[in-house]
Structures are given as C-alpha cells and as structure tokens.
Amino acid sequence: MDCLAGNLTQLLKIKRQLFGRIMTEFEYYISYEIFKQLVESVKYLHNNNVIHRDLKPDNVLIDNENNYRYIKLCDFGLSKSVDVLNYRYRQSRVKHTADVVQYMAPEAKSGTNYNHLVDVYSLALIGAKIFGLDSDDIRDG
C-alpha cells in the first residue's frame, strides 16, 4: 500500500484483493487517515458555502509524497455555492451515471429540496466502503 497514487476507487479494489481479511491495525490507520482527510475536505467546502453534490470514490484522488498520504477532491462540475446553513437547494435536471446515483442521498435523487447534508450522506457511504461495512445499513436508515 505504499504506492497510493490514483483515486479511492482504485485503492478500494486493491485493498479488497490484498486484504480479503480483517484489517490490521496499520491498515486500519491508513484507512482512518484517508477518511479523516476526506471529512476535513468536505468540512472546508461547507465552511466556504460549497456543496460538492458528487462525492464518490472516483472523485477522491490519493497521492503519497515523502511518506505522507494526502487526498484531493476533484470533479466540481455539480457543486453549488450556497449558504449551506440556511438554503435548501433543488436538484437541477442533470443526467447522472449509475456510480453517481450509488452515493447520492435520497432527497437529491428525488429532486426535492436538500442542503449540504447530502454530502454527509455520501461521506457515510464512502466511509462504509473504506472500512468494509455494509452500505445497505446506511441506505436503510
């Protein structure tokens, strides 16, 4: 796992093939480190009144420099700048691919009003993937 250049989807595929077992303490720490950075990145967006609206593993880039792993969010094509605390946004008519819908909050899928919490929902699903939990538990409430 030293060479992490790529995106989170690629890492999750490798992780599943390599580990296929309960994570060791070190592997858990790496997963925690990546997820923590992802949460901090989304918090930064929300503090600056931006809703990403397309959080998924493909849009989380991971690199390793000087033995330090770091992530970068990408693909801000669906993002919106709003007052995230007071504004509820209605989804515009945009074609979504299956992988986008997989991580999308129910209120965003249905086109009803929603706010920055749609990103939090996506984070929960991504976190489940990272830590090997059942995403259906989140979807089912």
Least Cα distance to 133 among 31, 38, 62 occurs for: 31
Per-residue HEC secondary structure of the chain comes to CCCCCEEHHHHHHHHHHHHCCCCCHHHHHHHHHHHHHHHHHHHHHHHCCEECCCCCHHHEEEEEECCEEEEEECCCCCCEECCCCCCCEECCCCCCCHHHHHCCCHHHHHCCEECCHHHHHHHHHHHHHHHCCCHHHHHCC
Catalytic (active site) residue 137: no
CA angle in degrees (0–180, nearest 5) for 64-43-48: 115
Catalytic residue among 2, 54, 75, 99: 54
Residues tagged active-site = 54
